[in-house]
């Protein structure tokens, strides 16, 4: 019998009750869009009501909550607060990295084959503009994804741009090992943590990225349209932002002096953040989401989800479904594949049974969270047996 996912740490009496997911719905697609936490929804309603009276918005309000949110993100990755900035998307953060990382003709950028487009197109543009090479790597034989990445890095590698885990199947990248290889060859490391941050422990000190970016609406359980960027200190002083927001200039909290233009930015990574970073509607929701994750802790979330996905892999195997090996995949999500292939309407067929998964590439991607109910495993396995075999 499948076990109910229960959060550890300091969760509410029932972790499922923290989410606004109706009974009868088996939602296993957190890797696409997180189910909404009730406290996040409440914060959103409160923010809308607050903004109905703009005369109550004062100068500190343009900065305080956004800075608190950036600091909460920094704590999540064990980074200094001054290294964090708010961005609207992964593509924005990757573009900021691409603008600042040097690249010469004949050098190469290492990426994962079939990587999510947000972590590809900026590198393609940068390589084309500078006469450089894109190296898209995939494992050969029994090699791991990490093996393939490390093997592709050489003395002409300028940038290594990888995810923490592959978005289609949860295949894990050993970031400390990749980071060491990048540093050994003098290459910059850029990490997209969108498919792991919040559900996996992550400490930037372990792999020392130059840039790390994540959306906020997946495993960070926040609203769509607000994400996070880490920028290593060595890029702060001379870094060039994508846009010149007044909010990020020195002295911007003195509205009377905004016409006294200055070449100086606020300290740290602030210059790399988005314009309108106050985000009066989204920031309060994101703060609640990160607060909940901090209470549960990524370690406890990951442990519970690992137990669930391990059981799923074991129960799906007799029906002809395979997944990356235990040591080669992240614990919070998994892609199931079959030699028989997948029917094109499979996602709809699952949804008709009240089971929601993602079809990504050749995989049935299963991404639960602490809301996943007691009968979810049985219903998923039944669906696999009847419509995916």
Tokens of 108: 């190469």
- In the prediction, which pLDDT does 296 show? 96
Instruction: Flag whether pLDDT at 13 surpasses 70.
Output: no
Contact 166, 328 (CB under 8 A): no
In this prediction the pTM is: 0.94
Instruction: Flag whether pLDDT at 127 surpasses 50.
Output: yes
Q: What is the mean pLDDT of residues 222-233?
A: 98
> Do 286 and 271 belong to one domain?
yes
- Is 41 a domain residue? no
Counting every residue, how long is the chain? Answer: 389
Tokens of 178: 């990749």
Taking each helix axis from N to C end, the angle separating 121-130 and 90-100, rounded to the nearest 10 degrees, works out to 20
Considering the chain, what percentage of its residues have pLDDT values greater than 90?
A: 91
Tell me the per-residue pLDDT of 333-363, one tens digit each, with 9 for 90 and over: 999 999 888 888 999 999 999 999 999 988 9
Tell me the per-residue pLDDT of 66-95, one tens digit each, with 9 for 90 and over: 999 999 999 999 999 999 999 999 999 999
- Is 352 a domain residue? yes
Of 247, 253, 249, 245, nearest to 266 (Cα)?
249
- In the prediction, which pLDDT does 183 show? 98
Q: What is the mean pLDDT of residues 252-277?
A: 95
> Do 267 and 378 belong to one domain?
no
> Do 290 and 301 belong to one domain?
no
Tell me the per-residue pLDDT of 146-162, one tens digit each, with 9 for 90 and over: 999 999 999 999 999 99
- In the prediction, which pLDDT does 14 show? 72
In angstroms, the CA 368 to CA 388 distance is 19
**CATH number, domain with residue 309:** 3.90.1150.10
Instruction: Flag whether pLDDT at 102 surpasses 60.
Output: yes
List b or e across 267-302, with b for residues whose CB sees 16 or more CB atoms inside 10 angstroms. ebbbbbbbeebbbbbbbbbbbbbbebbeebbbebbb
- In the prediction, which pLDDT does 142 show? 82
- Is 44 a domain residue? no
Decide which of 268, 295, 322 is a domain's last residue.
295
> Do 253 and 328 belong to one domain?
no
> Do 154 and 199 belong to one domain?
yes
Q: What is the mean pLDDT of residues 195-219?
A: 98
Instruction: Flag whether pLDDT at 323 surpasses 70.
Output: yes
Instruction: Flag whether pLDDT at 197 surpasses 80.
Output: yes
- In the prediction, which pLDDT does 299 show? 97
- In the prediction, which pLDDT does 5 show? 39
Tell me how far the alpha carbon of residue 368 is from its chain's centroid: 15
Domain containing 235 equals 54-295
């Amino acid at each position: 019998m499948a076990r109910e996912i229960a959060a550890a740490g300091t969760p509410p009496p029932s972790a499922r009750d923290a989410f606004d997911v109706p009974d009868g719905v088996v939602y296993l697609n957190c890797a696409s869009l997180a189910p909404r936490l009730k406290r996040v929804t409440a914060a959103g309603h409160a923010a809308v009501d607050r903004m109905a009276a703009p005369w109550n918005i004062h100068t500190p309000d343009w900065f305080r909550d956004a800075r608190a949110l950036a600091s909460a993100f920094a704590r999540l990755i064990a980074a200094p607060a001054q290294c964090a900035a708010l961005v609207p998307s992964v593509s924005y953060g990757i573009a900021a990295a691409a603008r600042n990382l040097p690249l010469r003709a004949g050098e190469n950028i290492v990426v994962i084959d079939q990587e999510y487009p947000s972590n590809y197109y900026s590198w393609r543009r940068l390589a084309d503009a500078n006469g450089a090479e894109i190296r898209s790597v995939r494992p050969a034989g029994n090699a791991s994804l990490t093996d393939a990445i490390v093997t592709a890095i050489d003395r002409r590698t300028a940038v290594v741009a990888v995810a923490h885990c592959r978005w289609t199947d949860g295949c894990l990248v050993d970031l400390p090992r990749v980071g060491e290889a990048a540093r050994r060859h003098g290459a910059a490391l850029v990490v997209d943590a969108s498919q792991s941050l919040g559900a996996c422990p992550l400490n930037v000190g372990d792999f020392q990225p130059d840039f790390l970016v994540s959306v906020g609406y997946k495993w960070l359980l926040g609203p769509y349209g607000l994400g996070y960027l880490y920028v290593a200190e060595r890029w702060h002083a001379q870094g060039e932002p994508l846009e010149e927001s007044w909010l990020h200039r020195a002295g911007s909290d003195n509205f009377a002096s905004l016409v006294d233009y200055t070449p100086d930015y606020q300290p740290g990574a602030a210059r790399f953040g988005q314009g309108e970073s106050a985000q009066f509607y989204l920031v309060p929701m994101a703060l609640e989401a990160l607060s909940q994750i901090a209470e549960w802790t990524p370690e406890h979330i990951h442990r519970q989800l690992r137990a669930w996905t391990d059981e799923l892999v074991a129960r799906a195997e007799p029906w002809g479904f395979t997944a990356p090996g235990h040591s080669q995949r992240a614990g919070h999500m998994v892609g199931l594949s079959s030699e028989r292939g997948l029917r094109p309407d499979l996602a709809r067929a699952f949804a008709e049974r009240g089971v929601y998964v993602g079809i990504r590439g050749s995989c049935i991607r299963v991404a639960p969270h602490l809301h996943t109910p007691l009968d979810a495993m049985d219903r998923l396995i039944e669906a696999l047996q009847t419509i995916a075999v």
